[in-house]
């Protein structure tokens, strides 16, 4: 496992982390908590020291599972836990929904409340990183959420402040880095072999300000592991029913065809590993956080950290 410092103020983190949405028990079909915890243990046993979660994943369940794993390990590991806030799910607790709802709220009052709830679930004195959870631009192009993050830092409740940039709005939101880089330590961005909008403005600005970059959805919900085809379907309680609908699957799989010769030429690595390596090969990017549901997936994904293929050797898409 290789490690990098996460931007100007960041700790040293593994270049492959653990994305903890998939194990939340919601949005990804049914999951088995014991298997999910084994997946996290496997990650930590094999050099991963960074877990990404959000308060809203499973209405707090993802944070609780992580906390249980830390307890089981005697809280001896130096693990960085990144969480998120800004989607108020508390009014929906105890109600039945298909995929997780949340009312966007980036006010000082709500962000402070949400951070305090995450502190309790994770059983820590300070959150290593609190990220604004994919806000629309109108909600964060004003000082209030940034002041909230600054105050939470001053109070010692969070160590680093981040923005998880809304999917497909990477260029539109890039100017936020110019405006708020004094408080912003880290961004999280949707970026993978087939989705490279972030390269246009966002990643260059992150480099300019030495802002840490976390890459999410690095294997496109499993598609870049090569296991889906045009007949693949997903259950009602799996967000991929919408996000990898038959139309989107068809589009992505068509785009993926041009990578076949590349994957064929690097048969010593799996498609998931090569796809992950792409995400961390860009000089702006510090870590990819693949969601892993099983120890086997986790082990395979970790293998990407030590691959040496430079960014320039990956096929371009334009």
Stretch that binds ligand NAP, among 37-45, 142-150, 151-159, 285-293 (CB under 6 A): 285-293
For residue 219, state whether it binds ligand NAP (rule: CB under 6 A).
Answer: yes
Strands (E), 7-166: 12-14, 18-19, 50-52, 80-85, 87-88, 103-104, 127-133, 158-164
For residue 220, state whether it binds ligand NAP (rule: CB under 6 A).
Answer: yes
SS3 of 28, please? strand
Q: Reply yes or no on whether 311 is catalytic.
A: no
Which region holds residue 260: left if phi is over 0, alpha if psi is between -120 and 50, else beta?
Answer: alpha
Q: Which of residues 136-165 bind ligand NAP (CB under 6 A)?
A: 164
Stretch that binds ligand NAP, among 16-24, 106-114, 145-153, 254-262 (CB under 6 A): 16-24
Cα separation, 288 vs 191, in Å, equals: 9
For residue 290, state whether it binds ligand NAP (rule: CB under 6 A).
Answer: yes
Report the nearest approach of ligand NAP to the CB of residue 30 (Å).
10
Q: Which of residues 35-64 bind ligand NAP (CB under 6 A)?
A: 52
Q: What is the dihedral of CA 299, 300, 301, 307, to 10 degrees?
A: 110
Report the nearest approach of ligand NAP to the CB of residue 97 (Å).
17
The smaller minimum CB distance to ligand NAP, of residues 7 and 218, is found at 218
For residue 194, state whether it binds ligand NAP (rule: CB under 6 A).
Answer: no
Query: Given 57, 106, 110, 180, which residue is catalytic?
Result: 57
For residue 21, state whether it binds ligand NAP (rule: CB under 6 A).
Answer: yes
Short-list 249, 188, 239, 185, CA closest to 218:
188
The smaller minimum CB distance to ligand NAP, of residues 216 and 277, is found at 216
DSSP-H helix ranges across 55-201? 61-72, 108-122, 137-140, 143-154, 175-180
For residue 225, state whether it binds ligand NAP (rule: CB under 6 A).
Answer: yes
Cα separation, 168 vs 189, in Å, equals: 9
Q: Which residues of 121-152 are buried (b: 16+ CB within 10 A; e: fewer)?
A: bbebebbbbbbbbbbeeebbeeeebbebbbeb
Per CB under 6 A, the list member of 10, 14, 16, 22 interacting with ligand NAP is 22
Could you identify the residue written with the tokens 């996460």?
6
The smaller minimum CB distance to ligand NAP, of residues 167 and 210, is found at 167
The smaller minimum CB distance to ligand NAP, of residues 81 and 217, is found at 217
Other beta carbons within 10 angstroms of residue 317's beta carbon come to 11
Task: Please give the size of the binding site for ligand NAP, defined by CB under 6 A.
Answer: 29
Stretch that binds ligand NAP, among 18-26, 96-104, 152-160, 260-268 (CB under 6 A): 18-26
Short-list 166, 264, 270, CA closest to 227:
270
For residue 69, state whether it binds ligand NAP (rule: CB under 6 A).
Answer: no
Any bridge partners for residue 18, and if so which?
51
Other beta carbons within 10 angstroms of residue 78's beta carbon come to 8
Determine which helix (DSSP H) or strand (DSSP E) holds 212, and give its type and residue range.
Answer: strand 212-216
Stretch that binds ligand NAP, among 106-114, 144-152, 216-224, 306-314 (CB under 6 A): 216-224
For residue 191, state whether it binds ligand NAP (rule: CB under 6 A).
Answer: no
The smaller minimum CB distance to ligand NAP, of residues 7 and 290, is found at 290
Short-list 300, 306, 248, CA closest to 277:
306
Return residues touching ligand NAP (CB under 6 A): 19-22, 28, 52, 84, 133-134, 164, 188, 216-222, 225, 227, 272, 289-293, 297, 300-301
Instruction: Please identify every residue annotated as catalytic.
Output: 57
């Amino acid at each position: 496992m290789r490690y990098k410092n996460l931007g100007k103020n960041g700790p040293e983190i593994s270049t492959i982390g653990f994305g903890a949405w998939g194990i939340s028990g919601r949005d990804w079909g049914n999951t088995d908590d014991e298997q999910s915890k084994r997946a996290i243990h496997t990650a930590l046993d094999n050099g991963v020291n960074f877990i990404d979660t959000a308060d809203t994943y499973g209405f707090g369940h993802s944070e609780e599972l992580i906390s249980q794993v830390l307890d089981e390990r005697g809280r001896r590991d130096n693990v960085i836990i990144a969480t998120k806030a800004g989607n108020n799910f508390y009014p929906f607790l105890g109600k039945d929904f298909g995929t997780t709802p949340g009312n966007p709220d980036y006010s000082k009052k709500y962000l402070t409340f949400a951070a305090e709830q995450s502190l309790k679930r994770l059983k820590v004195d300070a959150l290593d990183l609190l990220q604004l959870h994919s806000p629309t631009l109108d909600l964060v192009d004003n000082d209030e959420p940034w002041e909230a993050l600054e105050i939470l830092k001053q109070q010692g409740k969070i160590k680093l402040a981040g923005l998880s940039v809304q999917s497909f709005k990477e260029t539109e939101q890039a100017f936020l880095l110019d405006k708020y880089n004094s408080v912003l330590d880290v961004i999280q961005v949707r970026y993978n072999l087939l989705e490279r909008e972030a390269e246009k403005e966002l990643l260059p600005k992150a480099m300019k300000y030495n802002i840490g970059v976390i890459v999410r959805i690095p294997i496109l919900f499993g598609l870049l592991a090569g296991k889906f085809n045009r007949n693949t379907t997903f259950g009602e309680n799996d967000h991929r029913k919408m996000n990898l609908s038959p139309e989107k699957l068809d589009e992505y799989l068509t785009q993926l065809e041009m990578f076949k010769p590349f994957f064929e030429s690097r048969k010593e690595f799996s498609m998931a590993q090569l796809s992950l390596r792409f995400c961390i090969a860009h000089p702006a990017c510090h870590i990819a956080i693949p969601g892993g549901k099983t120890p086997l997936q986790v082990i395979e994904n970790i293998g990407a950290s030590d691959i040496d293929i430079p960014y320039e050797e990956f096929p371009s898409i334009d």
